[in-house]
Structure 1
Amino acid sequence: MARIRTRRAAVASTIAIATVVGVGACNVDGTPVREGREAGVDTGHVDTDKFENLLAECEILPANQIAEAVGGQIADPSFFGANCRWTVMAPSTVEVMFNWFEWGSYTHEKDAAKRLGYTTENVTVRSQAAFTARDAKRPNVCGVTSKAPSGGVYTWWVEPSGAARGDACDAPIKLMELILSGAF
């Protein structure tokens, strides 16, 4: 019985000490503020000037150059966001997508394409290392990824609704050539 009382007393003492020490260790003076914010500043206001050029990458090429590169006349923007998309009316509808991951890694993008089951092939576009990505299940679709001169990676995807004219990678390579040459 004495052992049980001793154990209970030891456990009770440990809990009491932990509680006293723990309470003191958790006290922090001040007001919690999210990193990058200032205490007392109205966070309900969004400074839109910071986002002035947020989607500027979607205007990296004029719509007429995008349309011409894929064999059409007009490229209508269908979505501007993390990925920029256009629908081009050519002999068949062609979906075009562009993205620029400013902090992206060329190696990471290539590894991701392989993990997703795409066949990749190293190519050079305007003296810049690039690779094509193809899916055997959709032979008319091709993506081309290149290192971006200012950092990160550029990727163009072209997907015609019908059969591709010539090599499926011709159009995305042409688009990549245009942006890497600065022809815009």
Structure 2
Amino acid sequence: MRRRAAGAVVGVVAALSLVSCTIDGHAVREGRSVGSDTGHVDTSQFDKLLAECEVLPARTIAQAVGGTAARSNFFGANCRWTVSPGSIEVTFNWFEWGDYNLEKETAKRLGFTTENIQVRSQSGFTQRDPQRPGVCGVTAKSQSGGIFTWWVEPTSAPQGDACAAPIKLMELILSGAN
């Protein structure tokens, strides 16, 4: 009984000491200095905040991956469509401040195989998950900064190269097709 009481007292004291704990310094994003990144964004300046999800028409996305129709199912940091027939999942993201090399390192850390490619004179790479050989992602540098990534994930094994469809989508976006 005394051990339980002593243990409870030690636990309460430890918890109370952690609650009043402070850490010196300032929270800053990696690669930034204190005061250089306010985090304040006036979104009224961005009348087309989700326009990146409309960078290609749904019909063009569908045709590029071998379907006839694409239905958007999420617009946000990632844009997603389901293409039919065949239920092919397509994902697009554009990270305006994304780092190409960091994205590639992350893919490798996740166990994906990568291959360097050129798409419309832009550096790019493919990403493949050895556990899901029918799925492929393609990342390339955006002309206006940051990176674009297209992922194509069919529910059944694709005919031919799994990276052909995301490469086609990347070609379309880098050529300004819309």
2:58 is the counterpart of 1:63: yes
2:99 is the counterpart of 1:112: no
SS in 2 for 1:168: coil
Which letter maps to 1:66?
I
The two structures, once aligned, show a CA RMSD in angstroms of 1.7
Aligned residues: 141
Aligned to 1:80: 75
Taking the aligned partners of 2:135 and 2:43, their CA distance within structure 1 comes to: 37
Which letter maps to 2:139?
T
Quote the offset at 1:49 in angstroms: 2.9
Change in 2 beyond 3 A, CA 1:67/1:49: same
Identical positions, percent: 67
Which letter maps to 1:169?
C
Structure 1 unaligned segments of length 5 or more: list them: 1-34, 38-46
Taking the aligned partners of 2:138 and 2:55, their CA distance within structure 1 comes to: 16
Which letter maps to 2:145?
G
Which letter maps to 1:166?
G
Quote the offset at 1:182 in angstroms: 1.0
2:45 aligns with one of 28, 37, 50: 50
SS in 2 for 1:176: helix
2:142 is the counterpart of 1:148: yes
What do residues 62-98 of structure 1 show as CA deviations (whole Å, max 9, x unaligned)? 00000000001111001001100000003x1100000
Q: Superposed, which structure 2 residues align to 1:6-25 within 5 Å?
A: none
What do residues 91-136 of structure 1 show as CA deviations (whole Å, max 9, x unaligned)? x110000000000010010001001110000011111110000011
2:141 is the counterpart of 1:139: no
Structure 2 unaligned segments of length 5 or more: list them: 1-37
Taking the aligned partners of 2:84 and 2:39, their CA distance within structure 1 comes to: 45
Aligned to 2:161: 167
Taking the aligned partners of 2:120 and 2:43, their CA distance within structure 1 comes to: 36
Taking the aligned partners of 2:97 and 2:128, their CA distance within structure 1 comes to: 24
TM-score, normalised by the number of residues in structure 2:
0.75
Aligned to 1:128: 122
